[in-house]
Amino acid sequence: MLIDFHTHAFPDAISKRAIDKLAHLSGGLEPQGQGTVASLKEEMARDGVDISVVLSIATNPEQQTNVNNFAKKISDEKSIFAFGSVHPDADNALEELERIKDMGLKGVKLHPEYQGFYADDEKMKPIYKKISSLGLITVFHSGYDYGYAPPYHCMPDNLLNALKWFDSPVVAAHWGGVSCGVEVIEKLCGSDLYFDLSFGYGVMPRAVAQMIVDKHTPGKLLFASDMPWHRPIWEKRLIENLDISEEDKEKIYYKNAMRLLGI
């Protein structure tokens, strides 16, 4: 079995516009697929993925309801588990978290660059506490973001500071932080964080990836791709070229995700 813990899909009506905009912001990344749910499922079948976690982001307060309604619509809890999102500046963010829980969604995605907050900003404490009280999973975009200039808002120090406000699982995307390998090894490995292993192929040096795997418990690592920006088969190729036992690969490929998702 293979569970991809970090993918994206958009409503059909806006998928092309969204993909084109994000590709431009990234400096010209070539999308793998069309960015729709149907396209994601085609790529899953091609790369041998059984389940994808689809992560959406409310980039402004007014988007919350639509983003979460879309997540509920596509989440069949068979091949797709979609997470919701709240915007820190929304007056009803705490109520929306309750609605996310009531809809049966398993978690939320937060993107400090897109949403304009530092991960350890004091204003986030009520949101994190609410997430924890509801038992939801939180996935942070962490590290650099190709569409934005520094300073970045979710670096290893920010995440470490924010962890004190959480009592539910927290996932640092992209191996703990895009282009933050050394800092991740020094500061985050061994902490109470999950890392999703997305967007590593061709970006994360093999030696750095091996050090992260060696220093962070295999029970806290989640296979992930960042579709449509990286293919699952690419990320699997990186993992297969690391020194990891078959038992630990099973944890990374699906067992850890099954435990988090309750399946």
Local confidence pLDDT in tens for the 263 residues of the chain = 999 999 999 999 988 998 999 989 889 999 999 999 999 999 999 999 999 999 999 999 999 999 999 999 999 999 999 999 999 999 999 999 999 999 999 999 999 999 999 999 999 999 999 999 999 999 999 999 988 999 999 999 999 999 999 999 999 999 999 999 999 999 999 999 999 999 999 999 999 999 999 999 999 999 999 999 999 999 999 999 999 999 999 999 999 999 999 99
Residue 143 β-bridge partners: 178
Whole-structure pTM value: 0.97
Residue 171 β-bridge partners: 139, 194
Q: Say how many C-beta atoms besides its own lie within 10 A of residue 177's C-beta.
A: 25
How far is the C-alpha of 214 from the C-alpha of 32, rounded, in Å?
Answer: 30
CB-based contacts of 240: which residues, under 8 Å, 6+ apart? none
Contact 145, 152 (CB under 8 A): yes
- Specify the residue for token string 């983003």: 67
Structure tokens at 97: 């978290």
